[in-house]
């Protein structure tokens, strides 16, 4: 993946696309790594299947799901499910050594598969697991990897065009891996829409051996402590989200965001500066380096709308922005804008919603 602080390549170099080296021409088809831990497929993998389907159709090639895991029923279920999300075929490395994610074993499984079956594009989720794995696989294969893409496409010559925010999220850039294969990219959860699940019969599954025994692997898992559910924020999957930014002025005012959120049954979030200032914990951050949200309603209060934030909220059905600056970039992508001080408006909103949504009020209106 590209270090984004780098300037765009000089036109001469970028334009000088050489013919793909002969030994790389055999690389065909689009692969999606299906991330699963303890028998549970990560939703980002199905989102990537949706994106991968579009790329494969444009290129006229197959879409393959790549499943790596323990040799058990749960792994088989993930393989079957991958066909319901559009796989033309699946590659499977099943071995009980792969029960827990470990970098050594998973990197071996993925690089062996790539070397044996030669995909032109390999997509992974930009999760903790995916980021740990993708960097190792790309370095082992000595190919290009683009992290946290917000848009994937193929150009007229069939190369993967991977777009991501750059310069700390103030601009976008499109990155190509022209003369190396596979072209690798990661995408964060919820950035791509979830495709429709369509029941399909099990298709072709190609099994590949891991070729490792437990003694070959240095790192041992001593234990795994699952997170308690109560510590997880449900931001990424919330139907309604209210978030605050620097326009709130002080950490105390963030309380206004929480109050409105709790009144309308929303999750609350914030923009990056509030996390950097320590006002709000990082699991509440919305944007490229935080959570990507796709709610039915998003209310952004005192957030200017830098690209870093924008790419995390563009999937929202309806965006309401409150900002004192009528030229703030957030009004370029919000549906409705209110030019005012959020600190003054928020309590009024909380009160009005509370009145309108309270069961008491409803009953009174109905009678």
Which residues fall within 8 angstroms of residue 194, CB to CB, at 6 or more apart?
Answer: 43, 46, 47, 50
Q: Nearest approach, Cβ of 152 to another protein (angstroms)?
A: 14
* Residue 19 in contact with another protein, rule: CB under 8 A: no
Annotation-wise, does 103 bind a ligand? no
Nearest distance, CB of residue 133 and another protein, angstroms: 8
* Residue 39 assigned ligand-binding role: no
Tokens in use for 101? 């994610």
Choice from 50, 76, 239, 258 touching another protein (CB under 8 A): 239
Binder of another protein out of 99, 105, 143, 285 (CB under 8 A): 143
Our CB check for another protein shows the closer of 52 and 182 to be 182
Minimum distance of another protein from residue 111's CB (angstroms): 10
249 scored as a contact of another protein (CB under 8 A): no
Rule CB under 8 A: which of 250-309 touch another protein? Answer: 263-266, 273, 276, 282, 288-289, 296-297, 307
With binding defined as CB under 8 A, does residue 129 bind another protein? yes
Binding of another protein by 356 (CB under 8 A): yes
Q: Does 50 bind another protein (CB under 8 A)?
A: no
Whether 189 contacts 236, CB under 8 Å = yes
Instruction: For Cα atoms 329, 332, 337, give the angle at the middle one, nearest 5 degrees.
Output: 95
What are the b/e assignments for 37-57, b being 16+ CB within 10 Å? eeeebbebbbbbbbbbbbbbe
Mutual angle of helices 342-357 and 254-263, in 10-degree steps? 20
**Burial class, 74, CB count within 10 angstroms (exposed 0-12 / middle 13-18 / buried 19+):** middle
Contact flag: residue 45 with another protein (CB under 8 A): no
> Which of 70, 173, 194, 212 forms a contact with another protein (CB under 8 A)?
173
**Tokens for 258?**
């929480």
The structure tokens listed for 241 are 């989200």
Number of residues lying near another protein (CB under 8 A)? 107
| Tokens found for residue 26 | 């055999």
Q: Is 215 in the site for another protein (CB under 8 A)?
A: no
331 contacts another protein (rule: CB under 8 A): yes
Q: Does 340 bind another protein (CB under 8 A)?
A: yes
Pick one of 76, 84, 140, 253: the residue that binds another protein (CB under 8 A). 140
Q: Would the annotation count 23 as a binding residue?
A: no
Is 75 one of the binding residues for another protein (CB under 8 A)?
Answer: no
Q: Which helix (H) or strand (E) covers residue 348, if one does?
A: helix 342-357
* 9 is a contact residue toward another protein (CB under 8 A): yes
Q: Is 323 annotated as a binding residue?
A: yes
- Applying CB under 8 A, the span of 64-72, 77-85, 124-132, 197-205 interacting with another protein comes to 124-132
* 342-357 vs 359-366: helix crossing angle, rounded to 10: 50
**91 φ/ψ angles, rounded to the nearest 5 degrees:** -105, 140
Q: Is residue 219 close enough to count as binding another protein by CB under 8 A?
A: yes
Question: Does 325 engage in binding with another protein (CB under 8 A)?
Answer: no
Position 127 contacts another protein (CB under 8 A)? yes
Q: What is the largest CA-CA distance in the chain?
A: 78
| Contact assessment for residue 48 and residue 192, using Cβ atoms and an 8 Å cutoff | yes
Question: Sign of the CA dihedral 346, 347, 350, 353?
Answer: negative
Binding-site residue positions? 271-272, 285-289, 302-309, 323
Binding-site residue positions for FAD? 271-272, 285-289, 302-309, 323
């Amino acid at each position: 993946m590209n270090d984004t602080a780098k300037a765009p390549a000089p036109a001469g170099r970028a334009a000088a696309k050489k013919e793909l080296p002969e030994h790389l021409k055999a690389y065909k088809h689009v692969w999606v790594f299906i991330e699963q831990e303890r028998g549970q497929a990560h939703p980002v993998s199905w989102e990537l299947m949706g994106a991968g389907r579009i790329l494969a159709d444009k290129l006229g090639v197959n879409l393959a799901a790549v499943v790596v895991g323990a040799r058990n029923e749960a792994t088989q279920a993930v393989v079957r499910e991958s066909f319901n999300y559009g796989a033309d075929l699946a590659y499977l490395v099943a071995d009980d050594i792969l029960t827990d994610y470990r970098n050594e074993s998973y990197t071996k499984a993925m690089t062996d598969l790539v070397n044996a079956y030669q995909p032109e594009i390999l997509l992974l989720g930009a999760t903790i697991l995916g980021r740990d794995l993708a960097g190792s696989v790309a370095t082992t294969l000595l190919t290009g990897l683009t992290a946290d893409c917000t848009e994937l496409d193929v150009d007229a010559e069939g190369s993967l065009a991977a777009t991501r925010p750059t310069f700390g999220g103030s601009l976008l850039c499109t990155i190509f891996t022209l003369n190396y294969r596979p072209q690798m990219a990661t995408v964060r959860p919820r950035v791509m829409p979830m495709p429709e699940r369509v029941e399909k019969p099990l298709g072709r599954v190609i099994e590949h051996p891991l070729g490792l025994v437990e003694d070959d692997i240095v790192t041992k898992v001593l234990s795994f402590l699952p997170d308690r559910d109560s510590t997880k924020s449900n931001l990424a999957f919330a139907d309604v989200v209210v978030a605050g930014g620097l326009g709130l002025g002080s950490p105390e005012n963030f309380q206004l965001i929480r109050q409105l959120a709790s009144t309308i049954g929303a999750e609350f979030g914030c923009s990056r500066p509030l996390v950097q200032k320590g006002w709000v914990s990082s699991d509440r951050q919305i944007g490229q380096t935080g959570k990507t949200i796709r709610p039915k309603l998003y209310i952004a209060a005192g957030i200017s709308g830098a690209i870093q934030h924008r790419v995390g909220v563009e999937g929202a059905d309806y965006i309401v922005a409150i900002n004192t600056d009528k030229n703030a970039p957030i009004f370029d992508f919000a549906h409705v804008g209110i030019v005012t001080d959020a600190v003054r408006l928020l309590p009024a909103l909380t009160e009005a919603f509370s009145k309108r949504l309270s069961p008491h009020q409803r009953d009174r209106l109905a009678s």
